[in-house]
Amino acid sequence: MPNADIILGVDVGASGIKGALVDSTKGILVSDRIRLETPNPATPEAVAETFKELVKAFKWKKRIGVGFPSIIKKGTAYSAANIDKNWNGLNVKKFLEKSTELPVRVINDADAAGLAEMNYGHGKDMLGVVLLITIGSGLGSALFLDGKLLPNTEFGHVRMHGMIAEHYASSRIRKELNLDWEEWGKRFDEYLNYMDLLVNPDQIFLGGGISKHFDLFSPFLNVKTKLKPAKLRNNAGIIGAACFAHLD
């Protein structure tokens, strides 16, 4: 596609690496989404091979935007909670550029989802403090003030019940402990009330794959802050990564 606004967005997750071509001015997918399994273990070399395979599937030869599950500063990973520890301290941007021989822009995966929701979703033109929580293998977070991102918040790592919050209230924990929606919903409500206490947001959006089941667990959420599922749901990470690459 010759349109310079079309960018390949990739969302690297603990269980899957997903990508699609995105119209970065409209915030919509303009191709089918392709998902490849995240290698286990998700070493830099193994993930780079899968990433390269994904890029080849699109026959893509231009800039790529990547949402990555780590604190990201100037392309370098500074954490590795849900991915192989060997990523910690590695320049993800340069590593993926070397594997594909293409320009790559990298952003924290939850921040990417937040950018998408604030630019093309329910958060468009919204002022005040907005918090997006992505619910998946972990709990990701993106925090905005008057539409401006405060990057790398990592609120899934606050402490609850002697552990980090994502080990208590993530979607992965719900599955591993076989919790029903009420049991898990009450755990997640604890987490939301903790975030409400710490951040005092004006609006909370919930993203990630589990957000499509919002009606099943929302009856057990009592947090006082305005709350709704993110409009872009599980495509937000892909769209936000492409948006970041377009703007960067």
The predicted pLDDT at position 89 comes to 95
Do residues 14 and 65 both lie within one domain? yes
Can you tell me the distance from the alpha carbon of 156 to that of 158, in angstroms, rounded to the nearest whole number? 6
Q: Look at residue 53 and tell me if it is in a domain.
A: yes
The predicted pLDDT at position 135 comes to 94
- Within the chain, which residues score under 70 in pLDDT? 1-2
Do residues 82 and 168 both lie within one domain? no
The predicted pLDDT at position 1 comes to 43
Number of domains in the chain: 2
* pLDDT tens readout for residues 43-56: 999 999 999 999 99
Do residues 83 and 134 both lie within one domain? no
The predicted pLDDT at position 174 comes to 97
Please tell me the pTM assigned to this model.
0.93
The predicted pLDDT at position 2 comes to 52
CATH at 134: 3.30.420.40
The predicted pLDDT at position 210 comes to 86
Show the domain range for 142: 126-230
Do residues 55 and 133 both lie within one domain? no
